[in-house]
Amino acid sequence: MAEKIIIKAERYNNNNMDELTSKLSETSSKAEAGTVAAASAALACAMALKAANALQASEPENERLKFIVRNIDKLRIYMSALMDQDIRCRAPMNKAIKENRPQEELDACLHPASEITEEIIGMMVVLMDFLDEMSEKVSSSEAVAMMVSAEEAMSAAKICGVWFDYLAGLSTDETFSFVLRREYELTYKQLEEKYDAVLEKVKNNG
């Protein structure tokens, strides 16, 4: 029977910024790169939503903009929730490291430890697609919010890359390490191309 791991509740997504940064700085904190990446991703969504709300206010009957607003808000809430979910996904890995378990047991824990960060960078691709669509309509009033959103999305993705590299370094499974790094490289390249397109359009249209 699989061993049950009890995780002491530690919440981050309902803290204000002062509380969050204070908790993150504590050596006893369970938060790692995934929590920070999720926070950065949530900020990216918030700024994209700010721009989307402004665009939707100027075109209140535009059903596509209503759809974009609803879905970016869902992304914002989801990314905020992942700040805490990442801690749960990493618990088996942290336990294996703390107890100096055999390498094969640690290797088995590494994939779950990557799941939240994989989800974050995937959702940043989705967010960048929404930004790209909105950039066709952007004016100077929304331009700054959209550019900040794009920058935060890239920051979240880069943090995910730091975590993937750490996990790959822990593993003795060469296939896992290669696939983790390669999938990140491909997703990041895709995101970077979308980011460049968004910034060009925003600068030209805003």
Architecture of domain 31-205: Up-down Bundle (1.20)
Which stretches of the chain drop beneath a pLDDT of 50? 1-7, 9
**What local confidence, expressed as pLDDT, does residue 4 receive?**
46
d(CA 132, CA 201): 8
| The token pair that represents 136 in the structure block | 């066709």
Residue ranges per structural domain of the chain = 31-205
Helices 17-25 and 33-58: angle between axes, nearest 10 degrees: 160
Helices (H), strands (E): how many in the chain?
A: 6, 0
Any idea what the Cα angle at residue 29 is, between residues 8 and 95, rounded to 5°? 60
